[in-house]
Amino acid sequence: ASDDAKADYKAKELLNKGSDLMLQQATEERGIKMLQSIPQLYPASKLRFKAWMELGRYYTDKRSYDLAIKQFEQVEASQDADEQAESLYRTGICHFMTEKYENAFGSLRKVTNQYPWSVFANEAFYYIGQCHFKLRRWTNAVEALEMVGTSVPLAQTTDARAEAGQRVFIKLHDQDLVVLLRNGQKPSITMVASTGDTEAVALDAIGRNGDYFLASLPSTPGETVAGDGVLQSVGGTTVTITYDDENTEDAKRHVTRQASVALVSTATVGFTDGAYQDYIRGVNGDGEAFVRLRDLDLDTTPAADVVVLKLISRWKEKRVEDLSKGIELDAQEEVVHDRDAIELRLTESGAHTGVFTGSTRIEMIKPDGRKNGGAATIAACAGDDLVLVHFDEANLAGEAREVTASAQVLVGRMADVNNEQRVLTDLDQKARKDLIEGKLLLRLAQIFREVGLTTKAVDKAELGHGKIDDVLHVSEKASLSREVVEAAYTVKWELFIAQDRLAEAIGVCNQLIARFPDSSLVDHALLKIGQAKLAANDQQGALQVLASILQMPKSACKAEAQFTIAQVEEERAANQPTLLPGAMMAYKRVADHYPDSPFAGEALDKIANFYIKTQDYERAIELMTQVAQDYEDAPFLDRVYYKWVIAAYRAGRYPLAREKLNELLGRYPNSPMADKAKEFGPMIDKKLGGGGAASSPAPAVDAGGDQ
């Protein structure tokens, strides 16, 4: 085997083992270190992206969203389009969870625009709608939510699958149907199942343009009943969709378009209670093990079908770990042995249910004993795992897979409940406790500072320093997780900022850089320091700090730093108008260098204000057209439409002014800009109607965009 193949094999072993260890609280730190080691040990392996993705998911579950975003940003360099789409989607979710909706728009729109075929595109549309809903932009929210369900995989026509027993969705695109829809007619398609069922389904328009349509029909296992509005199926059913294309692009009439979809069932299996209803994770020794399988693919005859599963009893040989020798990444955690295995016969619960049930008796034996029940029982000891194995040949994933479920064999009576008090002796747990207390003291200091109680703020910050210093002191002697140490540095400089001790705060940043040069928190810290200097009227000092962010090799804060620099330049230009073009160039650098950031659109809006102020209306119109197309989720679009109306009116382009006024009133009816823009209505209508020779002056607009 090649060196690359060997590296991938070892990386895969580490990935699987680390992922398993992260599921258990006692071993999750060890699992994290295993995954973090993969990019370092195998920097050329594609599995490093899966490791970063797994870490990102872990930090998301732990609500450490900044750390999660850092992992997902690494995955964006992958050549796998699915991984790129997922990393962008999950980055957007992290921004959504931290209420940074404008940042979320940037990541989620990349998913819908660059990977519209991805399974994550539909989810991205949903969260875009949720972001708009949170921001009370109702029209935008509805438009985004209407797009949920419209994204389908690229190869849908050649190897399409749908889940049997659930609603089947068909998406169709035909620009000719726009006219048909306007005339009040509703197009339809025909769905024919291989079982003989035939259904005609109406198409409903989705989205704003009216050229995308969606049809859906519920499916259920059962005997064929044609024309009842339900698609009946059995295992192995395929459905052919037929559409009559009345007018084609090459001037042909009534061309039949067809696509097919296979109805498959993604199997689920598990141990249940005696009624075969609720899944359980433990079975009673010397009792019966009850099993349920749902797989509609196995429902192939009018009668109740039968299926055979494999049932295995397993015991684990645990390895004694010597922590004094450190963590051995290649060491096996435990060895699993099979104790017994039988074939378990399951019978369908009724005709065309697709649900199969059955049971077997558990025979308890000693670890070195033999069973007496033969194939009718499964031998096990207390603490063994019973494992069900089912081979799912057809499913939505498109590849055959092994489906398993396990339950532990339980014996004895329930132990009494004891009330115990735990004393923290573990250094990691104590450090986490001190970190939480430090964060609480920081918040108190910030609150006292906001209400003007400076002395109390300083006192609380000092107490916080004591807690955080304990964490950092422990980190020098023990192996604390990087997440805890970085968070401690973050709280430390925030405490200094709460005390107006900016020099010490910068010193803490430098300590973090020296200890973790690749930390994603450094640039955030520098940005806060720059903003603090601006609040203290130290513009020159702020510009130096912000410029240092721009010099960093990689930073998520560069766009905001450049935008803040532009704001400072614009503020200076208020007293020296000759500096205004330089400020506009600073805004232009935001749009040119960071076009995907949430600050790019607002920077262009600032430039549009400048064009209106200098009466360059055509350039303003051109620029606002670009902004509206590229930043459709921006929070300032109501201001853009308002200035669009003004620029079009002053340029004498009255139809455009009326069009943009209608869009503003329709999309942002509750915006203050809508009330201001209503003043234009009579004047625009007068111009369009040709009434009056005198020109009506347009209402004034604030070039700064603050109205």
CATH number at residue 407: 2.60.40
Dihedral sign, Cα of residue 272, residue 278, residue 281, residue 285: negative
Question: Would strands 160-163 and 253-264 be described as parallel, antiparallel, or unpaired?
Answer: parallel
Same domain, 276 and 407: yes
Answer whether residue 570 is part of any domain: no
604 or 655: which carries more pLDDT confidence? Answer: 655
Same domain, 256 and 291: no
Residue that the structure tokens 């094999």 belong to = 9
In terms of C-beta density within 10 A (0-12 exposed, 13-18 middle, 19 or more buried), how is residue 666 classed?
exposed
Residue 660 and residue 644: Cα distance in Å, rounded? 7
The tokens of 634 are what? 């921006």
Residue that the structure tokens 């991205």 belong to = 124
pLDDT of the residue at 326: 53
Same domain, 258 and 272: no
Residues whose CB falls within 8 Å of the CB of residue 70, separated by 6 or more in sequence, listed in order = 520
Same domain, 272 and 251: no
If you count DSSP H runs as helices and E runs as strands, how many of each does the chain have, helices first?
23, 19
Residue 432 and residue 488: Cα distance in Å, rounded? 9
pLDDT of the residue at 292: 96
Answer whether residue 126 is part of any domain: yes
Same domain, 128 and 111: yes
- The alpha-helical segments, DSSP class H, found in 478-577 are 482-498, 502-515, 522-535, 539-550, 558-573
- Extended strands (E) in 273-354: 282-284, 288-294, 306-318, 334-348
**Could you give the C-alpha distances from 127 to 64, 131, 209, 436, in angstroms and in order?**
19, 6, 21, 31
Q: At what angle do helices 598-613 and 558-573 cross, to 10 degrees?
A: 20
Tally of structural domains, the chain: 3
Q: Assess whether pLDDT exceeds 70 at residue 228.
A: yes
pLDDT of the residue at 197: 92
Same domain, 175 and 60: no
Domain boundary among 246, 264, 282: 264
81-90, 178-187, 436-445, 598-607: lowest mean pLDDT where? 178-187
Same domain, 286 and 405: yes
Answer whether residue 705 is part of any domain: no
Domain boundary among 146, 174, 190: 146
Residue 597 and residue 556: Cα distance in Å, rounded? 9
Same domain, 174 and 138: no
* Mean pLDDT of all residues in 580-587: 86
R_g of the chain, CA atoms, integer Å: 32
Same domain, 278 and 253: no
The tokens of 686 are what? 């007068």
Same domain, 40 and 96: yes
**Which CATH number covers residue 58?**
1.25.40.10
Residue 442 and residue 698: Cα distance in Å, rounded? 51
Contact 47, 54 (CB under 8 A): no
Answer whether residue 132 is part of any domain: yes
Q: How confident is the model at residue 589 (pLDDT cuts 50, 70, 90)?
A: confident
pLDDT of the residue at 298: 94
34 or 5: which carries more pLDDT confidence? Answer: 34
Q: List pLDDT tens digits, range 288-325.
A: 999 999 999 999 999 999 999 999 999 888 765 555 55
Paired strand residues for 419: none
Buried b (16+ CB within 10 A) or exposed e, 316-338: eeeeeeeeeeeeebeeeeeeeee
The per-residue DSSP string of 408-476 comes to EEE-SPPPPP----PPP--HHHHHHHHHHHHHHHHHHHHHHHHTT-HHHHHHHHHHHHHHHHHHHHHHH
The DSSP element (H or E) to which 380 belongs, if any, is strand 377-380
* Mean pLDDT of all residues in 627-652: 82
Q: Which residue range forms the structural domain that includes residue 361?
A: 268-317+336-411
Q: Assess whether pLDDT exceeds 60 at residue 507.
A: yes
Question: Would strands 238-247 and 160-163 be described as parallel, antiparallel, or unpaired?
Answer: unpaired
pLDDT of the residue at 152: 61
pLDDT of the residue at 327: 52
Q: Is 393 left (phi over 0), alpha (psi -120 to 50) or beta?
A: alpha
Q: Assess whether pLDDT exceeds 50 at residue 545.
A: yes
Residue 290 and residue 277: Cα distance in Å, rounded? 10
Same domain, 186 and 206: yes
Answer whether residue 442 is part of any domain: no
Q: List pLDDT tens digits, range 387-440.
A: 999 999 988 888 888 999 999 999 865 455 455 444 444 677 788 888 899 999
Domain boundary among 353, 378, 411: 411
Same domain, 311 and 246: no
